[in-house]
Structure 1
Amino acid sequence: MILDESKLSHRFTERSGVRLHYVEAGEGPLVVLLHGFPELWYSWRHQIPALVEAGYRVIAPDMRGYNLSDKPRGVGAYAIDELTADVAALIEASGAERAAAVVGHDWGGGVAWTFAMRYPALLERLVILNCPHPQKLLAGFRTARQLRKSWYMFFFQLPRVPELIAQRSGYALLREALKNDPQRPGALSDDDLARYVASWSQPGALTATINYYRAMFRPGSLRGLSKPTRVDVPVLVIWGEHDRYLGAELAAPDPELVPNARVARIPDASHGVLYDRPERVNQLLLEFLR
């Protein structure tokens, strides 16, 4: 489906001095869409109109550090406690008691998993796109295969160097990483990539977004995620199996921790499954929400 941006409302809410930008559309039960790295709300351009047409109210934020949202300084500002509290603030700002669903891709999926553990009263369903449950990711880090795939997470721990390399030649590294990811030809147009470049060009954006990874590896962060709380809401995991960053063996969460989970694998989709195979993603998403 084609996104009609004239039907979107651009709004802001503030939590603890950090202003968060989000787009809103539609009426009905609330669905919150959380994007990944290095993206922005626009990554959900195929899902927003489908959800609105199906009778849902959608809010899709620029997560803190991204695009038009504030970019607080310091690694600690991007700790998972801060990121999940932002989602709670967005739901409160919407006026809804809870979200019918929180949907997250990549880093947004990591935030969504943890949000479901820490704020279970604020959501009815959880949808995850190509992001493992935190316990599965930690287990993956104990294998050579996943460590090779996750090399960039460790590279991002260096100060300043990742930002300098990412900025070179008009963000060539990031542009190529996005453009070469999808299996479907034309999944990302030049106009789409221009939206991403404009987002990365915001002052402080690169450091802020890379700080998600730096905060993840701070002392205590991984230990906290290694003892996750059970997620009892219904969960749908959508997994593009041509994921160059995450092994397909990470898709299914532990049934003792996530007893109501279903995994839908898409063999001909990449990590960016939401725009690589949008029709299939929308079908799975809407079937799950009904």
Structure 2
Amino acid sequence: MTTLLRSRPLRLDELSEADVPFRTGHFLAYAPKDFHRIAYVDWGDPESRRVIICVHGLSRQGRDFDQLAFALAKMGYRVICPDLPGRGLSGWLRDPELYALPQYAADMAALIAHLNLKGEIDWIGTSLGGLTGMVLASAQDTPIRRLVINDIGPFLPWAPIRHIGDRLRDAPRLHHNLASGESRLRIVLGAFGPLTDEQWRHIAIHSFFPEPTGGWRPHYDPAIGQAFRPGRVYSVSMWRDWDAITCPVLLLRGVESDLLLRETADEMTRRGPRTYRVEIPGCGHAPALLDPDQIRIVTDWMGPAV
């Protein structure tokens, strides 16, 4: 089995234009009564006919996919890693009630149009990014030809959703230094699995922005947690979307995940699209896809761009 990964994770400061072309971009997307910026990182040959879009989880951003995107770009893919609105370098929404799947799906459809992506695309989504991919893949005449879903499914139990909301509301609005922010990430994102110090630092660098008056703030709009406030949390069912998907699916599940229950993953392989499932030990919600072995699961399933 051939792999293009090195024996240790590759740092961004080791990349060069000769390795993989690396670009950033943005465009204006629309929400009711508001335009907002959507930022993205664009890896690989911009002329490649094989395109993959990678979308992050609720409180994360597109740079989480740097290692995976690099590996896929080396295989000939063009890989687009956007920041959803309210995260990373993308703009915040004026109305926090719009931080929901309909807006995310609309913004990602706008991304596809902005980049003038013609033909079919592949989609890799972690958690919320996986739900967004499910919505788009279930639509009539969808351009998505293959779907990778990282630790999420069409049934979400209320208890872990409430925990996510509590974590967002309890998050400090400012850290005195980046090391303090990284320490918190190591705790609240511990379910990502065992990561190296270098990997934690990479996550932290893109998770906090320096404030002009001092300190480091989280990269996301605190209002993304409003949908999870007390009294608004309930179990979610999206089986109708799942059953409408026709493209092949790679389903990744952290063995210790409390959001993608084992029985939900079992049901996902019995109904709906043709699904290949991989359980990842040592992880809960959700595997970080920074470990070379986890990256190989995805690259082997995708195969070289042809």
Q: Fold conserved (TM > 0.5)? A: yes
For Structure 1 versus Structure 2, the TM-score category normalised by the shorter chain is: 0.7 to 0.9
Corresponding residue number in structure 1 for 2:194: 183
Q: 1:257 to 1:115 in 2, by over 3 A?
A: farther
Corresponding residue number in structure 2 for 1:51: 72
State the shift of 1:102 in Å.
Answer: 0.7
TM-score in terms of structure 2 length: 0.75
* Greater Cα radius of gyration, structure 1 or 2: 2
State the shift of 1:181 in Å.
Answer: 4.1
Q: Secondary structure at the match of 2:278?
A: strand
Structure 2 residues without counterparts, runs of 5 or longer: 211-215
- Check conservation: 1:179, 1:188, Cα contact below 8 A: no
Corresponding residue number in structure 1 for 2:112: 91
| Matched residue type, 2:87 | Y
Q: 1:279 to 1:212 in 2, by over 3 A?
A: farther
- Partners of 2:113 and 2:56 lie apart in 1 by 19
Higher helix share: 1
For residues 1-290 of structure 1, what are the structure 2 equivalents within 5 Å? 1=5, 2=10, 3=12, 4=15, 7-16=21-30, 17-27=35-45, 28=48, 29-118=50-139, 120-132=141-153, 134=154, 136-137=155-156, 140-141=157-158, 147=159, 149-153=160-164, 155=166, 162-163=168-169, 165-167=171-173, 173-174=184-185, 176-178=187-189, 181-186=192-197, 188-198=199-209, 201=217, 205-211=220-226, 213=228, 217=232, 222=236, 225=238, 227-228=240-241, 229-243=243-257, 245-255=259-269, 257-275=271-289, 278-290=291-303
- Check conservation: 1:240, 1:273, Cα contact below 8 A: yes
- Check conservation: 1:19, 1:69, Cα contact below 8 A: yes
Structure 1 residues without counterparts, runs of 5 or longer: 142-146, 157-161
- Partners of 2:16 and 2:38 lie apart in 1 by 19
Q: Deviations over 1:58-104 (max 9, x none)?
A: 10001111011011122332221111111111111222124431110
- Partners of 1:212 and 1:92 lie apart in 2 by 28
Q: 1:167 to 1:154 in 2, by over 3 A?
A: closer
| Matched residue type, 1:111 | T
- Partners of 1:113 and 1:180 lie apart in 2 by 23
Q: 1:33 to 1:252 in 2, by over 3 A?
A: farther
Using the aligned pairs only, state the percent identity.
Answer: 21
Q: 1:270 to 1:207 in 2, by over 3 A?
A: same
- Partners of 2:164 and 2:221 lie apart in 1 by 14
